[in-house]
Amino acid sequence: MARTKRLSTLWTKQNTGLLKDQALQADFEAYVRNSKTVLDVVVEVINKKISEAEKGKDEDYEKAAWPFLMADRQGQIRAYNYIKEMIDL
């Protein structure tokens, strides 16, 4: 039997009222795991956005503020990767 990867604590560390109850937390984890197909589509969308952000355009380098543009892109990519890490089941 294949070992199931643990659900990231990012899902449950929010301490909302719903997740304080152990039984409800288990139900929530099952719900997230049963949403894997939807989350896989989200990962595909994120991968496309990362690819677009990494490409850049030649005219971007002609802008005086291109270092800020590049920093912004790197921040976007970092945020996308954070979300991918969270939904990696």
Model confidence pLDDT, tens digit, residues 3-42: 567 777 777 676 566 666 777 777 888 888 888 899 999 9
pTM (predicted TM-score): 0.72
Contact 18, 74 (CB under 8 A): no
d(CA 14, CA 65): 38
Domain assignments of the chain as residue spans, ordered by start: 1-34, 36-87
Extended strands (E) in 1-89: none
The Cα–Cα gap between 41 and 20 comes to: 29
- Say whether pLDDT at 76 is over 90: yes
Mean pLDDT of the chain: 82
Mean predicted confidence (pLDDT) in 78-88: 91
CA distance 16 to 21: 10
Q: What does the pLDDT read at residue 40?
A: 92
CB of 80 within 8 A of CB of 3? no
**Distance in angstroms between the alpha carbons of the first and the last residue of the chain:** 16
